[in-house]
Amino acid sequence: MLPRLFPFTLPPKIETDNLIIQALTIEHLEEYHGLCREESTMKLYGLKPHQKIEDTQNTLDVLDQWFRANTAIRWGIFSKNDLQEKNSLVGDIGYWQFDVLRNRGELGAKISLRFKSRGWGYEACSAVIDFGFKELGLQGVDANISLANKASMALVKKLGFQRIGIRPQLSYSTAEESWQDMLFLSLNQRDWQYHE
Ligand SMILES: CC(C)(COP(=O)(O)OP(=O)(O)OC[C@H]1O[C@@H](n2cnc3c(N)ncnc32)[C@H](O)[C@@H]1OP(=O)(O)O)[C@@H](O)C(=O)NCCC(=O)NCCS
């Protein structure tokens, strides 16, 4: 069962071969603002790029409120081994909109332009899915992806997600200023065991 209250006060650190996935805090404000200013990255996520640092500060505040309300959990993804880029913020990742009755969480992630196509999106998603099933006790992980987002579709397919169907006008994109049809995909705990 998804815990009614997270048994930790900050999102716990998760390490992979190349990444450290840890709490995003006010310390990372400048770097996180850099990520949130990337127009193409944010557009695929359905959001307008941040203009002012206050926009990013506001996002961090909201993420913190959602975490404390046990409705969402968000980490920063940091590089570990790359000497030039060590400890740089690579992206963010997390679950939002936990469905407590069905024991499911919705996965979302962004990888900054300069770190794309290194396999790090896949590495981070694998680790956070594993954490979701093993530490949060999730039964399933869901994804809603805009039909234009080919990279994300390929990524979740590689992770073993199954296509369920189109959800018409599910999500409002502030970047497009319109309601978007989304492809709904999901991954169940049982299938993840076989995928591993
Ligand atoms: C989707 C995203 C997270 C992928 O991150 P990434 O680190 O570049 O992805 P990886 O290098 O780990 O690639 C993993 C797989 O994703 C797929 N993929 C990644 N980029 C792709 C692209 N541009 N076109 C098609 N497939 C792509 C491939 O299947 C790839 O596996 P392969 O290299 O074995 O073929 C990144 O492009 C991103 O941040 N996009 C904008 C935000 C977003 O769309 N978030 C998801 C919304 S739910």
pLDDT band at 91 (very low <50, low <70, confident <90, very high): very high
pLDDT, tens digit, for every residue of 100-134?
Answer: 889 999 999 999 999 999 999 999 999 999 999 99
CA of 9 to the centre of ligand 1 (A): 30
pTM reported for the whole predicted model: 0.95
Of all protein residues, the one whose alpha carbon is nearest to atom 26 of ligand 1 is 151
pLDDT band at 196 (very low <50, low <70, confident <90, very high): low
Is the CB of residue 92 less than 8 Å from the CB of residue 24? yes
Spatial separation of the C-alpha atoms in residues 191 and 22, rounded to whole Å: 26
SS3 string of the chain? CCCCCCCCCCCCCEECCCEEEEECCHHHHHHHHHHHCCHHHHHHCCCCCCCCHHHHHHHHHHHHHHHHCCCEEEEEEEECCCCCCCCCEEEEEEEEEEECCCCEEEEEEEECHHHCCCCHHHHHHHHHHHHHHHCCCCCEEEEEEECCCHHHHHHHHHCCCEEEEEEEEEEEECCCCEEEEEEEEEEEHHHHHHHC
pLDDT, tens digit, for every residue of 12-61?
Answer: 999 999 999 999 999 999 999 999 999 999 999 999 999 999 999 999 99
Using a 6 Å cutoff on CB, does residue 80 contact ligand 1? Answer: no
What is the chain's mean pLDDT, rounded? 94
User: Residue 193: what pLDDT?
Assistant: 82
Using a 6 Å cutoff on CB, does residue 141 contact ligand 1? Answer: no
Spatial separation of the C-alpha atoms in residues 120 and 77, rounded to whole Å: 9
CA of 14 to the centre of ligand 1 (A): 20
Ordered domains of the chain (ranges, CATH):
14-195 (3.40.630.30)
